[in-house]
Amino acid sequence: MTKTVAILGRPNVGKSTLYNRLVERRRAIVDDSPGVTRDRLEGEGRLFDLRFRVIDTAGMDEGAPGSLPARLRAQSEAALDDADVGLFMIDAKAGVTALDESLAAVLREHGKPLILVANKAERDAGALATAEAWRLLLGEPVAVAAAHGRGMDELAEALRPFLAPAGAEETDEAPEDEATYDDDGAPRTLRLAILGRPNVGKSSLINRLLGSERLLTGPEPGLTRDAVHLGWEHGGRRFELVDTAGLRRRTRIDARSLEKVATSATIEALKYAAVGVLVIDATQALERQDQTIADLVVREGRALVLALNKWDLVEEPEPLLREIRYRLQGQLAQVKGVPVVPVSAITGYGVQRLLTTIVHQHDRWAMRIGTGELNRWLQAMLDDTPPPMVKGRRIKLRYVTQPKARPPTFALFGNQLDHLPESYLRYLAGGLRERFDFRGVPIRWRLRQGKNPYAD
């Protein structure tokens, strides 16, 4: 079984920098300002021959009960409880602070092994602070410079007694394509990106799905910054949930702000997802930004599901649901029939139906249609409404095939296809959705000039 390492400490000591070093990618947002990390981030860590799960935590600070610092601290302590060993980090340049001493005393009470890591110990600059660190009663400090990769060999030796080396209990991982899909093409892990404007209840909805307060929630908008990846299993199927930062209109975002970085992380997370779940606050009007986020999901070729959260606060649910579905027919015509599921993250209403809808939507997104059946459909569409004339000659559509799924992509063969209007492609896409149940799934076309390649 894979061991788990939690990285802990006060704000701005370099926890996220070390996390990125261990997972060998920039998963956590790093900035000079303190308190950037809010939710726990989990990833597969690697340090020479050691393999382990690593958790990045929020900076721990003092705060009144119920305040944001207190909630962040509770999340960090919960991460240590879930881990096999903790790395308690201090800033070697700044020296040992009163907050370091207070936090070390609290963490020692959890009874978990703790390794003291003195970060930012470039050359001899942190030698004094490293010596001071003994008074934290956590043993000999390991001096590292996470930003430059220094001291990683000493850190590996300190971790080794608590972690099994790679190969001792499990073999190397399969390549990504084999690890993601079974032999019959069924997905082993269904990746979901939870998207929406700030403060619509994305983290609360994920906590409801997981059945635990895994993500930080509260009335403060913009709590989530990193794209938080969470593994989860339900009904015999594995999911990877990605909670993302709330997306505001671009004109409201400072190009040099942390929000800009968080927005980029959200868009990057969507590229690796199969389904985008757009969470909408049912107590507010459907805004243009909701449509913009839905358009983003479609442009990236992901399946789309709309979750109307806070449904328990809606006074007249049926008229509202009819109005939203009517408005979506015009605003999201490119994914006509996108499923809309009313839910409540607080009460749990509609959550099971949302999961069922997500699985069905993924199956539509990954569906393949046989070539013979496709061409019988195409002929019926041509008989009903032929393509238009161009300079006295009718555009001829000879053949269609589906070269790939995820998203459904169709190659259309014929002549004069450079003159085929977008309106006719929308007509064909609508026919595909109606005939083969591609509701709410983006459809892509590849136009190929020339004769039927399968003709004699």
Q: Determine, yes or no, domain membership for 335.
A: yes
Is residue 92 domain-shared with residue 123, that is, in the same domain?
Answer: yes
Is residue 86 domain-shared with residue 136, that is, in the same domain?
Answer: yes
* pLDDT tens sequence across 235-284: 778 888 876 665 544 444 344 433 344 456 667 778 888 999 999 999 88
Is residue 267 domain-shared with residue 148, that is, in the same domain?
Answer: no
* pLDDT tens sequence across 183-238: 444 446 898 888 888 888 888 888 888 776 654 444 444 444 445 667 777 777 88
Last residue of a domain, one of 323, 340, 365: 365
Q: Determine, yes or no, domain membership for 102.
A: yes
Q: Determine, yes or no, domain membership for 455.
A: no
Give the span between the Cα atoms of 106 and 299, in whole angstroms: 48
Q: Determine, yes or no, domain membership for 58.
A: yes
Is residue 137 domain-shared with residue 29, that is, in the same domain?
Answer: yes
Q: Beta 189-196 vs 114-119: how paired, if at all? A: unpaired
Give the span between the Cα atoms of 120 and 7, in whole angstroms: 15
Mean pLDDT of the chain: 80
Peptide bond into 407 cis (omega under 30): yes
Is residue 242 domain-shared with residue 319, that is, in the same domain?
Answer: yes
Last residue of a domain, one of 328, 347, 365: 365
- The enclosing domain of 103 has a CATH number of 3.40.50.300
Model confidence pTM above 0.75: no
**Structural domains of the chain, count:** 3
Residue 366 has pLDDT above 90, yes or no: yes
Is residue 248 domain-shared with residue 135, that is, in the same domain?
Answer: no
Last residue of a domain, one of 365, 390, 405: 365
More confident residue, 253 or 448: 448
Is residue 92 domain-shared with residue 15, that is, in the same domain?
Answer: yes
What's the pLDDT at 394? 86
